[in-house]
Structure 1
Amino acid sequence: MPDMNVYKSLRFLLLAGAVAVRSETFDFVIAGAGTAGLVIANRLSERSDITVAVIEPGDDVRQDPDVQNVNFSFSSFNASINYQYPSVTSPALGSRNLTYRAGKAYGGTSTVNGMVYIRGDKAQYNAWEELGNEGWNWNSVFSYYKKGEKFIAPKSAQIAGGATYDKNVHGESGPLTIGFPSIISNGSFHDKALATWKALGLNPIADLNGGAPNGFVAAPQTLDPDANVREDSARAYYTPVEARPNLKIIKGTVKRITWANGHGGLAVASGFEIVSPSGKLVKIGARKEVVLSASAYRNPLILESSGVGNPQILKKLGIATKVNLPGVGESMQDHPIIAMTYSLKGSISGRIPYATMPTAQDVFGNKTASIAASTSAKLSEWAKAVSASSGGAISPSAIEKRFRIQHDLIFNKNITIAELFPSSTGTGVLAQFWTSMPFSWGSVHLGSKDNINTPTITPNLLSTDFDGEILAAVGRLSQKGYSTPPLSDLITDNTSPGYSKLPLNASDEQWATFLRENVLNGLHVVGTCAMLPKELGGVVDSEVRVHGTSNVRVVDASVIPMELSGHTMAPVYGVAEKAAAIIVASLG
């Protein structure tokens, strides 16, 4: 890897030599050179007759050693390439504020995340079509997963550490390299964890990316095991094509969509107004379409700044309504996450990339049927509460329909409802766990007409009582795993929160207090520009086109209509590949 000082010097020279941003016009203009934005840019610019510009406020950090490092740790968090958005104070979380992070660089969040590549359950994708998105189901998205992927099969040392796979669920010739860490932990942790989870009814599986992830398995990551570097979307989708004369990245921040003159009918975008690095407002024109790929946090802000959203919110901001679309910024879903720490009798060298993914039956056992019945009876009540928290932006009946499909996935389709994912600290294990499909939804909205960089984020984590109950049940399962032989043979103690504070037989009240004081946002946010019919609170249609517009599309995690059991990055790559094909097909 290059020397850090050399890298910083080169970066300074590049910035010092940057020219002022000027007004230009392209066929397509994309907001955000992130995980999805660079997929779209790559696929559109395959057409030599199409010009593409990407507007990105972050820097090119492809040679940054911290980014390339596959031993990434959130303890080495780099604020210069991350947005940090504070949430509003949440009463349900003991009046705490949460922080939402997202990448600010070429590659977006794929440059700064944990690299874990998990797609989710087949039935969850099929539910997208059930919700009204024709052509969006497991089979269709799965084909694009394979198109984008270059899977590197594990070698003997990785196999010895527990890496397994099914070659039929992976692609071999796509841009995105996926594989297992070069150094997976020696067999002691893997073998003991496998035996323990098997004893608890969670059997080992070969591959969790084929749509049936229930069980215990090693998870692949977006990394190149041969080069031993992170594989983000900049390395995968931009580096091979950056010399294309019809593709350009412009440094700046998209503030709003500009509109062509017209009367009635669909709104027609003419481009973006962007804020240049010097603070100047510059217009970048789009002859054909604009695409928002600026993240689940920023896309709603750009739409609202452009007059697309809930008229009540827009009026308070002093923005005239261009398109009445109340779902903008609503339906925000995230994985509520908890971590416990266990000290070890020895130490662990290498990564322990093992996911344990249970179903409701695995978590609730013989109580599953009664819990299914009692929660089904509460769906209408929960829907009314979520609708009220949105100020009535989405009707209770629309939310209840979505909730019933989600409830069916959990209790009838037997999807995985949680993930337990450990990380090694060397002398300890950080035992993380989270639930997959919360009924507590939040929102993200523009806080000020003049400040595109400051969203108002309302998390609402655990605002529905069942979300706390299910997270506690998964926590009990996690505790049981680490206190059951042979995995428990490695453990000396639970050091955080400690068995004195949260014993193995902790009461519901003790768990509720612990969760309220410690639960965090998993940074797997989806849904703020949901792909749904407008009457269900949707923002984009099944061609990822914003309702009420002719040429504005949204492509990234914000369009995913319901939370998944996977880590959000993998679904974003699949969605982006499919959306790119839809856009290219529309060109004829």
Structure 2
Amino acid sequence: MQVLEFDYVIVGAGSAGCVLANRLSESGKYTVLVLESGGSDARFWVKVPLGYAINVTNPLLNWGYHTAPDPGLNARVMSWPRGRVVGGSSSINAMAYVRGLPHDFNDWASAGAQGWDWDAVRAVYDRCESHADCTPQGLQMRGDGPVVVSDLSDQMSPFSKHFLDAARDAGHPVIPDMNNDVEGGISYYRSTVRNGLRWSSADAFLRPAQRRANLHVMCNADVDRVTCEDGTVTGVLFHRGGQQRQATARREVILCAGAVNSPKLLQLSGFGPADLLRSHGISVQQDLPQVGQGLQDHLAVSYQFLANQATLNTIFGRRAGRLLAGLRYLLTRTGPLAVPVNQVGGFVRSDPRGNVPDLQLYFNPVSYTISKTGAAVVDHTAGYQISAQPCRPNSTGSIEITSTMPQDAPCITPQSLSTAEDRVAAVRAGRTLQRFAQTASLQAVTAAAKAPDLRVMDDAALLDDFRQRASTVYHPCCTCRMGHSKHDSVLDAKLRVHGVSGLRVADASAFPNITSGNTNAPTMMLAMRAADLILEDAR
């Protein structure tokens, strides 16, 4: 068997793995191997911002996971696309860049992740980011970090201004940027787009590092398990091209495989709940009852309306419109194809008396239906969509292996709406959207409601509809979370697996609790700080 030897072995070239590949190889002191199960991200629809709807249904780009039937969602089975490509989920996501709210990270610190409070992570965000801002003087750059965060409001649909007007009607502040140190408000979304192209973690971090001789990236490499001797992790076994290989790590193995695959790999390797491992005949290296537990995700409910003014349907619902938009994009890298699907949104309080925002909103100037294959089919007539997700659900699920075969998908059990608080939050999400639908600004541009009609629902109907139609926003996390000890978590505050030497987990699975908004920005931030911690220990 071929054996490769490096200082650090990183499993996964996704949102987190790309950051660590860059940072750990930067000094030239350490050799770094990155193993990525997927292939290259050099694909047209990966790079086109509006290609999101195509990417999430492309089996060549994602793991194609599905949940178990979820009792809280009328026993529905949910598709959970996770990136299986260089860049990971940052290569197939909707590119919304949302830091999260300050109390999210203060809650991390309270849960045992010391050094991860808002003041600490804000400084890391500042290091990560460069901002391309629209100003009266033109495009202005701010900051010098590798992650380009763009204000694309100058290219968004003119219809989107009605969403901002509706926010004012409903009593919510309209702010320049939801990532500023404010506790709530509606704005245009900022996106990880640069010069009309998706700017993934691979673009920001991996590509600049690949010219280094001490960094080796191996695609189409499926990691089977972590190897361990006397409580110390020594490397990984993986297969590529039908051959099994081994990579040893002189210093550490770092799992960046995501909220589904990182706990799966730990369990396959003998790190996890002892009873689960023994039931599959796996030798227990370390009894860690929380591996795969504590799963959290965001669920959003959406309502659509027909409009009496032009929306993106006017362009993408017609062949001529699509051709013109495509030609404009190919010639100039601007226009509707250069803007991700989410145009307006932010954080609001469902009750003005609330201490912190409890809902994230998304407003899109387009209406569509979802086909049986999961593809979005744009309506021919003008329409728009309004959506809401409860920010901090407290229902928790699990990820558990179903066999000892690495290629077998784990059982994903979300346990959605399993707490009374989450069921109340689902109703509040519907009520908040009702108030938006009833504003003068949206009523003036609405021709009719698409079924179901949000405007006539009572609380019982709102909850029933949430159970029937709410869907994941693709933000799974917390399955290898940081905390105090192995009894409440998997990792310590330095992302080291409890009781194990030479092994860390640095991805969204390490979140102590779900952040209020989109999880890609917090994942890259976490990986940036993880690199700081790893390099400190190495010194």
Q: TM-score, normalised by structure 1?
A: 0.81
Deviation at 1:275, TM superposition (A): 2.1
Partner of 2:400: 445
1:378 maps to what in 2?
Answer: none
Aligned: 1:290 with 2:266: no
Shift in CA distance, 148/171, structure 1 to aligned 2, threshold 3 Å: farther
Q: Distance in 1 between matches of 2:528 and 2:311?
A: 38
Q: What residue number does 1:521 align with?
A: 472
**Partner of 2:241 in structure 1?**
277
| SS across alignment from 1:196 | helix
Deviations 1:210-249 (A, max 9, x none): 342401111200010xx21000011111111211000001
Q: Which residue of 1 aligns with 2:301?
A: 338
Quick one: which amino acid aligns to residue 468 of structure 2? E
Distance 1:519 1:229 in 2: 30
Corresponding residue number in structure 2 for 1:388: none
TM-aligned CA deviation for residue 199 of structure 1:
2.5
Per the alignment, do residues 75 and 144 of structure 1 end up closer, same or farther by CA in structure 2, a change over 3 Å counting? same
Q: How does 1:458-469 map to 2 (within 5 A)?
A: 458-469=413-424
Secondary structure of the structure 2 residue equivalent to 1:577: helix
1:56-102 deviation per Cα after TM superposition (whole angstroms, max 9, x unaligned)? 011112x3110110223425532211111111112222221111111
Which range moved further: 232-241 or 508-517?
A: 508-517
Deviations 1:471-517 (A, max 9, x none): 121112112212211122111111132x2xx5x24222222221111
Measure the CA separation in 2 of the matches of 1:277 and 1:422: 44
Mapped contact 2:71–2:416 kept (Cα < 8 A): no
CA 1:513–1:223 in 2, change beyond 3 Å: closer, same or farther? same
Tell me the number of residue pairs that the alignment of Structure 1 and Structure 2 aligns. 496
Shift of 1:206: 2.4
One of 173, 177, 197 as aligned partner of 1:229? 197
Query: Structure 1 residues 516 and 585 mapped into 2: Cα distance closer, same or farther (>3 Å)?
Result: same
C-alpha distance in 2 between matches for 1:335 and 1:447: 24
**Corresponding residue for residue 65 of structure 1:** 44
User: Structure 1 residues 208 and 117 mapped into 2: Cα distance closer, same or farther (>3 Å)?
Assistant: same
AA matched with 1:480: R
Aligned equivalent of 2:53, options 58, 74, 79: 74
Alignment partner of 2:150 out of 164, 169, 179: 179
Question: Could you tell me which residue of structure 1 aligns to residue 173 of structure 2?
Answer: 203
Match of 1:245 among 213, 218, 239: 213
Query: What RMSD over aligned residues (CA atoms) do the two structures have, in Å?
Result: 2.0
Instruction: Give 1:530 deviation, angstroms.
Output: 0.4
- Contact persistence 1:182–1:228 (CA under 8 A): no
SS at match of 1:425: coil
User: Matches of residues 399-478 of structure 1 in structure 2 within 5 Å?
Assistant: 414-425=355-366, 427-478=382-433
Distance 1:476 1:364 in 2: 10
Residue 351 (structure 2) aligns with:
364
Distance 1:453 1:223 in 2: 34
The residue type equivalent to 1:292 in the other structure is L
Contact 2:36/2:218 (8 A) holds in 1:
yes
Residue 44 of structure 1 is matched in structure 2 by: 24
Which of 208, 228, 245 is matched with 1:259 structurally?
228
Aligned to 1:275, the other structure's residue is in SS state strand
Q: Give, as a single letter, the amino acid of the residue that structure 1 aligns with 2:226.
A: I
Match of 1:112 in 2: 92
Q: Return the alpha-carbon distance in structure 2 between the equivalents of residues 57 and 188 of structure 1.
A: 41
- Change over 3 Å in CA distance of 1:115–1:158 after alignment to 2: farther
Give the superposition deviation at 1:253: 1.1
1:405-463 CA distance string (max 9 Å, x none): xxxxxx5xx22211110122272112221111112111111111123441110011111
Partner of residue 132, structure 1: 112
- Give the Å deviation of 1:136: 1.1
SS in structure 1 at match of 2:190: coil
* Paired residue secondary structure (2:5): strand
Displacement after TM superposition at 1:139 (Å): 1.2
Q: Does structure 1 conserve the Cα–Cα contact (< 8 Å) formed by 2:72 and 2:417?
A: yes
Is 2:160–2:344's contact at 8 Å kept on the other side of the alignment?
A: no
Shift of 1:534: 1.9
Q: What does residue 343 of structure 2 align with?
A: 353
Q: What are structure 1's unaligned runs of at least 5 residues?
A: 1-20, 160-166, 369-410
Question: Aligned residue for 2:524?
Answer: 573
CA distance in 2, matches of 1:306, 1:508: 46
Q: Structure 1 pair 58/521, CA: closer, same or farther in 2 (3 Å)?
A: same
**Unaligned stretches of 5+ residues in structure 2:** 313-335, 368-381
> Which of 4, 12, 25 matches 2:5?
25
Deviation (angstroms), 1:535: 5.2
1:246-297 CA-to-partner distances (Å, cap 9, x unmatched) read 000123111111012x3xxxx211100112232x321111111000000100
- Report how far residue 186 of structure 1 moved: 4.9
Task: Provide the residue aligned with 1:481 in structure 2.
Answer: 436
Question: Is 1:543 the equivalent of 2:494?
Answer: yes
Cα deviation for residue 47 of structure 1 reads 2.0
Query: Per the alignment, in what secondary structure is the counterpart of residue 402 of structure 2?
Result: strand
Letter paired with 1:417 = D
Counterpart for residue 317 of structure 1: 280
TM-score by length of 2: 0.88
Give, in angstroms, the shift of residue 317 of structure 1: 1.3
Q: Which moved more, 1:554-563 or 1:198-207?
A: 198-207
Counterpart in 1 of 2:160?
Answer: 189
> Does the residue aligned with 2:252 lie in a helix, a strand or coil?
strand
SS of the equivalent of 2:528 reads helix
Contact 1:330–1:529, Cα closer than 8 Å, also in 2: yes
Between 471-480 and 550-559, report the one with greater CA deviation.
471-480
CA distance in 1, matches of 2:406, 2:260: 14
Instruction: Give the Cα–Cα distance (whole angstroms) in 2 for the partners of residues 277 and 317 of structure 1.
Output: 27
Q: Which residue number in structure 2 is paired with residue 212 of structure 1?
A: 182
